[in-house]
């Protein structure tokens, strides 16, 4: 009779991930990833320039630069970290992520909302052209919805909105009747402004999908 042995199974989780680093928080980061982000922010705040990989490793308890590179690579793919354009092998926390999860790092106080300015309402916040610091009273109480901004197109179906105005919107949701809406045809890079889904306001039907509900308009004079 042949004896058999069983190899103890590895606990569920990603192979190679350090113990205790499997769960993510409300910001979508593991404890280790959050520590890397904090290390970058604190180093910049205290020294005025981004940390090197070795400095990040020392701050979060990783002796191997390859382990640091693994964490940084994951954060880059998530578009949480980006390369500093002015320093080689240095990293910064992307502003869009700060605006959503660590707004205090951007300044402006509790009454300021940092709104990503996008080229198209279907783009993710990580594709922001820039961030706009706006009064919270202007954006309103958006709850957990993340506001975004786009520049109004030339064919906006509302006399009060001009081409080039910055339109502040919230993601689409229930109760869109009576609101100006950002809409776009499936697969199209163009978008426009409608009074309600499927209509220009004069009864002519359209097939655009709703991309956002407009809550404010900003115009420079």
Q: Which residues pair with 9 in a beta bridge?
A: none
Residue 101 lies in a domain: no
Task: Look at residue 132 and tell me if it is in a domain.
Answer: yes
CATH code for the domain of 143: 2.10.109.10
- The backbone torsions φ and ψ at residue 23, rounded to the nearest 5 degrees and listed phi first, read -100, 145
Residue 212 lies in a domain: yes
Same domain, 88 and 130: no
3-state secondary structure of 78: coil
Q: Into how many domains does the chain fold?
A: 2
Structure tokens at 111: 């009454």
Q: For position 183, what pLDDT does the model report?
A: 85
Domain that includes residue 135, residue range? 108-218
Q: What distance in Å separates the CA atoms of residue 93 and residue 15, rounded to the nearest whole number?
A: 26
Residue 10 reports pLDDT greater than 60: no
Q: Is 213 helix (H, G, I), strand (E, B) or coil?
A: strand
Together in a domain, 73 and 130: no
14 within domain boundaries: no
Above 90 in pLDDT, residue 161?
no
Judgement on whether residues 87 and 112 belong to the same structural domain of the protein: no
Given 61, 93, 125, which residue is the final one in a domain?
A: 93
By mean pLDDT, which of 13-22, 79-88, 179-188 is the weakest?
A: 13-22
Same domain, yes or no: 38 and 78: yes
Run of H or E including 91: strand 91-93
Supply 76's token pair: 């880059």
């Amino acid at each position: 009779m042949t004896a058999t042995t069983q190899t103890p199974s590895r606990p569920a989780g990603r192979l190679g991930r350090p113990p205790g680093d499997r769960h993510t928080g409300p910001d979508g980061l593991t404890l280790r990833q959050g520590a890397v982000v904090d290390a970058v922010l604190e180093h910049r705040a205290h020294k005025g320039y981004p940390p090197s990989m070795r400095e990040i490793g020392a701050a979060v308890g990783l002796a191997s630069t390859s382990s640091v590179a693994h964490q940084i690579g994951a954060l880059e793919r998530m578009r949480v970290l980006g390369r500093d354009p002015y320093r080689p092998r240095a990293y910064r926390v992307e502003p869009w992520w700060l605006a959503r999860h660590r707004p205090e790092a951007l300044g402006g106080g509790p009454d300021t909302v940092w709104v990503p300015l996008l080229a198209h309402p279907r783009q993710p916040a990580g594709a922001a052209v820039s961030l706009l610091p706006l009064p919270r009273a202007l954006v309103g109480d958006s709850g957990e919805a993340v506001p975004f901004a786009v520049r109004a197109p030339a064919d906006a179906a509302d006399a009060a909105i001009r081409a080039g105005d910055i339109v502040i919107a919230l993601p689409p949701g229930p109760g869109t009747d009576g609101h100006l809406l950002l809409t776009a045809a499936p697969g199209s890079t163009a978008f426009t402004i409608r009074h309600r889904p499927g209509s220009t306001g004069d009864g002519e039907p359209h097939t655009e999908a709703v991309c956002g509900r407009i809550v404010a308009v900003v115009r420079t004079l």
